[in-house]
Chain A
Amino acid sequence: MVGRVTAHPIIRLEPSRGWVALRLDDVWHYRELLWFLALRDIKVRYKQTVLGASWALLQPVLTTVVFTVVFGRLARIPSDGVPYAVFALAALVPWTFFATAVSTTSISLVGNTNLISKVYFPRLCVPIAAVVACVVDLLIACGVLFVAMGIYGVGGGLRMPLVIPFVALAVATALGVGLWLSAIAARYRDVRHAVPFLVQFWLFATPVAYPSSLLSDRWQSLYALNPMVGVVEGFRWSLLGSDVAIGRTALTSTASALVILVTGAFYFRRMERSFADVI
């Protein structure tokens, strides 16, 4: 009798070395947890705030006002023929999502230390849930964008549904960058200080305040390696109906985002085994 194999699946625990499989099936198995973590983040984010979820609207709107005054009126930056406010908002909606998602995801592991050092679950759930929680804000902000488009009477063509792949691209980029940063942050608290700078630099490397047409053709491919270029241009192209040729930019950005996402996921899994010990 002793040593008989049981009906239950046997889990083998042993040291792993080097690169390991992603085990996305594990993450899928824990999808309810993922959802709960995201839901918790959403619920908690606006608890005990006076304005509640309207913060999700206010952030892009207020930034748009500032951008319109500074870049649109004072600096007279061109806006591809649409009113500057809509031009900026169409970029700020995905950008705000990206900036928030990267900031919150990068500290998500550290913020869940008590979970990570006390319970087992696929660690990938933590950054994924952090990004998912930000997607809700993105959807709310998209609503604002649609309203603004109505007010200014721009866009709204047949291309509108094509914004969806660009939303996906934004999510993939944020998750990819977030995976890298959160795994590094588990060990090096430097990340907490570096992220605000990173996000700020990234903003200037992305055509949020200005159109990418300002750059000469020669630099466009290199520029599009920043996946957020593809996202922002994609939003403007699909929603505002700008005439910029989007194909090459979109492909380059997508490829670049996928590289960041896949390498980020593998790096995360590689670092994962030491999370509970170092965090």
Chain B
Amino acid sequence: MSSDAGSAQRGAVAIRTERLCKDYVLGAGGYGYDSLRERLTQLATAPARALSSRREQRPGGEQEQLLHALVDLSVTINEGEVVGIIGSNGAGKSTLLKVLSRITEPTSGWAEIAGRVGSLLEVGTGFHPELTGRENIFLNGAILGMRQAEIRRQFDQIVAFADIERFLETPVKRYSSGMYVRLAFSVAAHLQTEVLIVDEVLAVGDAAFQRKCLGRMDEVAREGRTVLFVSHNMAIIQSLCRRGIFLQSGRLVADGPVNEVVGKYLQSLEQTMAVDLLDRTDRRGWHRIKVSGLEIAGEDGAALASGRPARFTVRLTGLQPGTRCMLTVLNNLGQPVCEFASGTTSPEDVTVPAVVSEAAPTQFICEIEELPLVPGRYRVDVLVRGTHHTEDAIASAAMFDVAHGVLAGRPVAGHGSGDVAVPHRWIVPVS
């Protein structure tokens, strides 16, 4: 599509949803792995049940537990709009994308989409490890709905964008993960569909390639195509999208200019963090050990400041041999800044005997002598791993503000670029 045609079409509706709902049935009686036997008994007793009870009721009075992944969602998106979909884990972002890309049907309500939809919900979907890069380009293109002629026409561009010319005839199982991602994104980015749906794919790949992807998405948008984009990285959302849609528990919370919507999202994150960590439900892992608290404090309970000591305390409900903690510090826009992992050891580490009691819970303490962060607001993701499994992981478990301070004798400015302050020294000529 030429850009002229694109701008001429602007204002026409590309996607419209009306009271869109999607429920998932939880529990053994629903869409889980139920056994054939159960189903057969159900079939056999169906006539009797039809006489005696309503259809919704299950044998044995077992209640269906429904997860409302999307609730009464009505939005209209015009052609050529680039919309960022924002929300915490489990807010319904991915479900919305799945319904719109026809992978799953809505439970009620409807959606209308003008034109073809290309979706990239996961990088490398449909890649087969045994096939070569060339074969996978054609296979993946076909899976994403491209015609063979179309793929052939764009083949060189796809290969050039992914930068894998030399490895075209190599099975992708021998590719590095970076090459794999580049190739997968490249195929999807060259889809000539009117609507492009992209789910958090830029979280992978190196910074240079991320920039390249963003550039490509921008191009796609400028061609007048509609883009729906999900990311936890607010900086990417803000740079790419003009409109934001904020979902929470499957409902539309905010819809409007991207900066406003991102603001509302960040506000809601603060409210979430006010909830006791043990009461948080947006966590994953085996949960044999849970994070019960995360405390971030400066020296003697003082506020955090650049260049001053900081102390991260992770409280756990239990301990297993081999338990490790990982803290990821993200800036206010959701971009990772640095990470502290107890899994990598240093001679300076200290071990203490574990005590598990109400009064003194098990805790991992991470001490930083001179906090190398510029003034601003940060959040922390916490993850606890046992020997083999992730036990507990909570995104945005806590938030902290860093005040102005001094690092290596130099005041740290909060308005420059980047989030990290590095102690340094200049050698300056004077006349």
Contacts and interface: CB of A to CB of B under 8 A. Distances in A.
Interface of A: 1-16, 30, 32-33, 35-37, 39-40, 43-44, 47-48, 114-121, 184, 187-191, 273-274, 276-278
A12 B142 contact: no
Contacts of A117: 103
List 5 tightest A-B contacts by C-beta distance, closest first.
A8-B115, A120-B102, A14-B110, A1-B11, A118-B125
B31 A278 contact: yes
Given A6-B12, A114-B122, A118-B119, 8 more contacts: A10-B112, A11-B117, A13-B99, A13-B102, A44-B130, A47-B130, A118-B125, A187-B31
18 contacts: A4-B11, A10-B113, A10-B114, A11-B102, A11-B114, A11-B117, A13-B100, A13-B113, A14-B111, A35-B142, A37-B139, A47-B130, A117-B103, A120-B101, A120-B117, A121-B143, A188-B39, A273-B104
B106 A13 contact: yes
- Which of A33, A35, A37, A120 is most buried by chain B, counting CB atoms within 10 A of its CB? A120
A9 B114 CA distance: 6
B179 interface: no
A117 B121 CA distance: 9
B108 interface: yes
Nearest to B33: A189
Q: How large is the interface on B (under 10, 10 to 19, 20 to 34, 35 or more residues)?
A: 35 or more
A88 to B, nearest CB: 34
Given A13-B110, A13-B112, A40-B131, A32 B103 contact: no
B25 to A, nearest CB: 8
Contacts of B115: 6, 8-9
A188 B9 contact: no
B333 interface: no
A277 B104 contact: yes
B8 to A, nearest CB: 10
A32 B138 CA distance: 10
A117 to B, nearest CB: 7
A276 B145 CA distance: 18
Interface string B140-162: 00111101100000000000000
Given A13-B113, A32-B147, A273-B105, A6 B79 contact: yes
Nearest to B21: A15
Given A9-B115, A43-B131, A120-B119, A274 B31 contact: yes
A271 B31 CA distance: 12
B266 to A, nearest CB: 30
Contact of B131 (A8, A44, A115): A44
A120 B417 CA distance: 42
A190 B36 CA distance: 7
A9 B9 CA distance: 14
B411 to A, nearest CB: 50
Contacts of A35: 142
A119 B144 contact: yes
Nearest to A33: B142
Contact of A119 (B78, B126, B135): B126
A249 B101 CA distance: 47
A234 B112 CA distance: 50
A237 B24 CA distance: 53
Contacts of B101: 119-120
A12 B111 contact: yes
A11 B13 CA distance: 12
Contacts of B117: 11, 120
A15 B144 CA distance: 23
Interface in B82-114: 98-114
Contacts of B147: 32
Interface in B172-195: 194
B139 A36 contact: yes
Contacts of A121: 143, 145
B35 interface: yes
B128 interface: yes
A2 B105 contact: no
Interface in B1-43: 9, 11-14, 24, 31-37, 39
Contact of B142 (A4, A32, A118): A32
A117 B101 CA distance: 11
Contact of B112 (A2, A12, A114, A277): A12
A115 B114 contact: no
A118 B128 contact: no
Contacts of B32: 278
B16 to A, nearest CB: 9
A265 B121 CA distance: 28
B143 A119 contact: yes
Nearest to B104: A276
Given A2-B11, A6-B9, A190-B36, A11 B103 contact: no
